[in-house]
Amino acid sequence: MSAGPSAAERRLLEVEAEPLAARLDAWLAVRLPELSRSRAAALIEAGRVLVNGKPARKSHRPEAGQVVEVEIPPVEPSEVRAEALPLVIVYEDSDLVVLDKPAGIVVHPAPGHASGTLVNALLFHVGGLSGIGGVRRPGIVHRLDKDTSGLMLVAKNDGAHRQLSVALKARAIRRRYLAAVWGHLREDDVVVEAPIGRAAGDRKRMAVTPGGRPARTRLHRLERWKAADLLRAELDTGRTHQIRVHLAWIGHPVVGDAVYGRGRESGMGGSAASWTRGLAQLVPRQFLHATELELAHPRTGERLHFESPLPADLAAAAGWARGDASS
């Protein structure tokens, strides 16, 4: 094993009697929670893991009495540039960050969005990033669309990222949204369960499709407006555009949704016609806000609960829809 940079961390682990023989990469991910399995595998393949002083394969199954030596190199700087963009941090500790994302900002850098993203802002504002996969970068546990605002969960290290991702898949993280939709639900509580996949002929859009992944959204009507409802939507799964796709599929697209609900308000006639046009003009983007987040802390197990009220643009539109005198 090479000496490596002086900042590299070395860990010595003695293998105890294991009830089930696990591969070396999986065993390391359990014994060293700060490492993901893929990160452990990368260290093994780079020759930074020795078993009884000799390089080992990731498929090796540790046996009782063996000594495993792990060299963890310093975290590499991210290729993404840190930028001093406005960011509202609701909560931060050594493992995670909860932030209140504004509408209009993309989460990850991508072609056409190399800068000005949420990740750029996080690299500037968040301290103590130990990195994900050996790179100093935040671990996005779940995303929000560009024009969706509200609470997002971010991990600051591999261990927290892995545990939070597992909790998300196990539906142990509760995510609730506020959404205004055109028309009225048939009843106050509706569960939409329909598979979601890429739309045929348009890979940028999602759709309810027989070959899609299972998806379930719970809806509860909070307010009934003249020609729209204000709903609380809770995700049981986390498919791309899930709330927007499910609501459009049941005939009640999100107000202001340019992809799945374009022009819906123009099809309403009668006494609701002018009202729908008025609401549409007041909503500058899709009326969808991540309002509530509840989870168990990945290290301590403490229950954490966060809430975010409607931002000013959506609050003003909701006030108008209710007929508030101040709106």
Residue 257: active-site member = no
Q: What is the pLDDT of residues 55-108, one digit of tens each?
A: 888 888 888 888 898 888 776 666 777 788 888 999 999 999 999 999 988 887
pLDDT at residue number 115: 79
Tokens representing residue 250 in the block: 């049941």
pLDDT at 48: 85
Q: 25, 95, 145, 158: which one is catalytic? A: 145
For residues 105-143, one letter each, b for 16 or more C-beta atoms within 10 angstroms of the residue's C-beta and e for the rest, the string is bbbebeeeeeeebbbbbbbebbeebbbbebebbbbbbbe
- The packing angle between helices 312-322 and 273-282, to 10°, is 160
**How far is residue 67's CA from residue 176's CA, in Å, rounded to a whole number?**
47
Lookup: tokens for 144:
């929000």
pLDDT band at 113 (very low <50, low <70, confident <90, very high): low
191-224 per-position pLDDT tens digit: 999 999 999 888 789 999 999 999 999 999 999 9
pTM, 2 dp: 0.78
